[in-house]
Structure 1
Amino acid sequence: MSQSDSDMAAQQQAPAPARGNTGLGLVAAALAGVAAAALYGVVIGLTKHEIGWAAVGVGFVIGVAAGKRGGRSPVLAIAATVLALGSVYLGQLVGEAMIGADQIGMSFSELFFQHLDIVQQAWKAEADPLTFVFFAIAAWAAFSGAQKAAR
């Protein structure tokens, strides 16, 4: 058997990526949610604005991660929706903390981790109807992304 024949045999025997595993889908969605929240927060912090397409991206990434890894379980679409809401909120808090840290001359980590209550109060004071539209957009993107990715 030649080297290329043995390589082909090894590739043919490699297991397919896991699908249909709800637990794996939940873990993938949660990891995607943390990463998307951080990125969304950085975008808000750098631009000093909430951006709708970024909220769509947060939801969609979470939904796709859930659906690709977890399969067609309806639990995953619902969980992705809830995770998207939490990720958008967390991202908005990260952005608020980045902006606030610049304004008051404090480090981001100190403001975010030691004074989260102040960050949340600032978020509440600045939240407007568009803020909640972004929540709805992200939830829709997560739900539909999970369903489409599971096909």
Structure 2
Amino acid sequence: MSQSAPPPPQPQSPSQPQPADGNPFAQQQASAPYAAQPGAVPPPPAPPAPPRGNVALGLVGAVVAAVAAAALYGMVIGLTKHEIGWAAVGVGFVIGLAAGRLGGGRKPLLPIAATLLALGSVYLGQLVGEAMIGADQLDLGFSEVFFQHFGVVQDAWKETADPLTFLFFAIAGWAAFSGAQKAAA
């Protein structure tokens, strides 16, 4: 009976080193200790990021933020019976943030549109506040005062408007413009 000798060792190339224990998968496991196991389900793909540089999306977001901020600002005025400067800053900043984040990129239209929307939002918020105060004083519902007597609400706003009122417009406009520029960066 002839005994066969073990095969001669193969020379190892430097690009493919062989493990010492003869396990061809040991090196693969060592380099990727958390590699997917056979039969494992891969994680779901991440949701797509909102598109950057979409001016229309930025404008829609700014309009939605303006309406919401006007309602909230009006409620603050109606409940406290005072205009509050930091609330005007918040109105402008939220509108600018929405325009800049959703619109993305450095589009010159977005800060200007955010500024104009902030001015309108502060005005609408002040009218809502006047209507809330008037409804409370007259013991009527807010919607009745705001929608059926809108001219009276505007006249009341004109009578109570002072230089501080217009300062709040300027503050909100500045916050919207700078917020849109910073959010887009």
One-letter identity of the residue aligned with 1:137: I
Q: Percent of aligned positions with the same letter in both sequences? A: 74
Pick the aligned partner of 1:37 from 70, 81, 85. 70
State the superposition RMSD in angstroms: 0.8
Match of 2:117 in 1: 83
- Distance in 1 of aligned mates of 2:43 and 2:182: 37
- Distance in 2 of aligned mates of 1:69 and 1:105: 42
Q: TM-score, normalised by structure 1?
A: 0.94
- Distance in 2 of aligned mates of 1:21 and 1:88: 26
- Distance in 1 of aligned mates of 2:171 and 2:96: 12
- Distance in 2 of aligned mates of 1:78 and 1:63: 9
- For 1:69-120, what per-residue CA distance to the aligned partner results, in whole angstroms no more than 9, with x for missing partners? 0012110000000000000000000000000000011110000011100000
Larger radius of gyration: 2
Considering Cα pairs closer than 8 Å and 6+ residues apart, tell me whether 1 or 2 has the greater RCO.
1
1:2-151 aligned at under 5 Å gives the runs: 2-3=40-41, 5-7=42-44, 10-11=45-46, 14-71=47-104, 72-151=106-185
Instruction: For residue 16 of structure 1, report the CA deviation from its aligned partner.
Output: 1.5
| Structure with the larger helix share | 1
Q: How many residues align?
A: 146
Runs of 4+ in 1 over 2 A off after TM superposition: none
- Show structure 1 runs of 5+ residues with no match: none
| 2:168 aligned counterpart, secondary structure | helix
